[in-house]
Structure 1
Amino acid sequence: MKKTSKIIVLILILSVLTASLVLLSACNTHSNGSSQDKLVVGLECAYIPFNFTQQTDKNGAVKISNADGYANGYDVLIAKRIADALGKELVIVKTEWDSLVPGVSAGTLDLVIAGMSPTAERRESIDFSEAYYESNLVIVVRKDGNYVNAQNLDDFNGAKIVAQQGTFHDKVLQEQAASHGITAGTPMATFPEMTIALNAKTIDGYVAEEPGAIADCAANENLTYVHLLNNDTGFDASAEDTQIAIGMRYGFEHKDAINNILLNLSSEDRLAIMQEAVEFSTDNTSVQSTFFSRIGNIIKTYYLSILKGVGYTILVAIVGTIVGLFIGLLIGMYRTLDTPKNKALAVLKKIGDFILSAYIEIFRGTPMMVQAMVIFWGFALINNGSTMNVTLAGLIIVSINTGAYMAEIVRGGIISIDKGQFEGAQAIGMTHSQTMWNIVLPQVLRNIMPSVANEFVINIKDTSVLNVIGFTELFFYGKSIALNTYAIFETYLVVAAIYFVLTFTITRILRLIEKKMDGKKDYQIMGSQNMDAESMLREKQAIGGGEQ
Structure 2
Amino acid sequence: MPLRKVLGGTQSLSRWVAALLALLLGMAALAGTVVTTGAPAQASTISRAVKGKTFRIATDTTFAPFEFRDTTGELVGIDMDLIQQIAKTEGFKVEIQSLGFNAALQALTSKQADAVIAGMTITEDRKQVYDFTDPYFDSGVQMAIAKDNEEIKGYKDLKGAIVAVKTGSEGEAFAKRNASKYGYTVKAVDQSSTMYEMVKSGNAQAVIDDYPVLAYGITQGNGLKTVTAKVRGGSYGVAVNKGQNQDFVAAFNEGLAKMKTDGTYNKLLKKYLGGQGTTGKGAAAHKLSFFGLVRQSFPALMLGLKNTLLITAMAFVIALLIGIILGLWRVSPNRILSWVARIYVAIFRGTPVLVWAFFFYLGVPQLIGHKISIWLAGALTLSLNSGAYLVEIVRGAIQSVDTGQMEGARSLGLTRRMALRRVILPQAVRIATPSIINQLVIMLKDSSLLLAIGFGELLYQAQQIYAANFRVTETLFMVGVIYFVAITLLTWLANILDKRMNR
Shorter-chain TM range is: 0.7 to 0.9
AA aligned to 1:142 is: A
Note the C-alpha offset of 1:15: 11
Note the C-alpha offset of 1:229: 5.3
The secondary structure found in structure 1 opposite 2:188 is coil
Q: 1:14 to 1:323 in 2, by over 3 A?
A: farther
| 1:6-405 correspondence runs (5 A) | 6-10=11-15, 36-55=52-71, 69-119=73-123, 122-123=126-127, 125-147=129-151, 149-150=153-154, 153-184=155-186, 186-220=187-221, 222-228=223-229, 230=231, 242-250=234-242, 251-254=244-247, 255-259=249-253, 262=256, 273-279=268-274, 281-286=279-284, 289=287, 293-339=288-334, 349-350=335-336, 352-388=337-373, 390-405=374-389
Q: Which runs of 5+ in 2 are unaligned?
A: 26-38, 40-49
Deviations for 1:94-135, whole angstroms, at most 9, x for unmatched residues? 222222112223333222111012446655654323332232
Contact 2:196 2:222 in 1 (8 A): no
- Range with bigger deviation, 420-429 or 392-401: 420-429
Q: 1:36 to 1:264 in 2, by over 3 A?
A: closer
**Aligned-pair identity (%):** 23
| 1:458-477 correspondence runs (5 A) | 458-477=442-461
Could you tell me which of 505, 525, 541 is aligned with 2:489?
505
Count of matched residue positions in the alignment of Structure 1 and Structure 2:
469
- Range with bigger deviation, 113-122 or 359-368: 113-122
Deviations for 1:383-428, whole angstroms, at most 9, x for unmatched residues? 545332x333322322222111100111111222222323343444
Note the C-alpha offset of 1:89: 2.8
Contact 1:40 1:111 in 2 (8 A): yes
Note the C-alpha offset of 1:191: 1.3
AA aligned to 2:180 is: A
The secondary structure found in structure 2 opposite 1:359 is helix
Q: In structure 2, what is the Cα distance between the partners aligned to 1:463 and 1:43?
A: 21
Q: 1:136 to 1:335 in 2, by over 3 A?
A: same
Note the C-alpha offset of 1:295: 2.6
Q: In structure 2, what is the Cα distance between the partners aligned to 1:260 and 1:518?
A: 68
Q: Could you say which structure has the greater relative contact order, defined with CA pairs below 8 angstroms and 6 or more residues apart?
A: 2
Deviations for 1:457-484, whole angstroms, at most 9, x for unmatched residues? 1111111011222222211211111111
Q: Which position in structure 1 is the counterpart of 2:9?
A: 4
Q: In structure 2, what is the Cα distance between the partners aligned to 1:513 and 1:13?
A: 10
Deviations for 1:263-304, whole angstroms, at most 9, x for unmatched residues? 777799866643332249443132654xxx543123212322
The secondary structure found in structure 2 opposite 1:455 is helix
Q: 1:432 to 1:166 in 2, by over 3 A?
A: farther
Deviations for 1:198-236, whole angstroms, at most 9, x for unmatched residues? 2333322101111112111111275321334548xxxxx
Q: 1:500 to 1:12 in 2, by over 3 A?
A: closer
TM-score (norm 1): 0.77
The secondary structure found in structure 2 opposite 1:116 is coil
The secondary structure found in structure 2 opposite 1:220 is coil
Could you tell me which of 413, 426, 443 is aligned with 1:442?
426
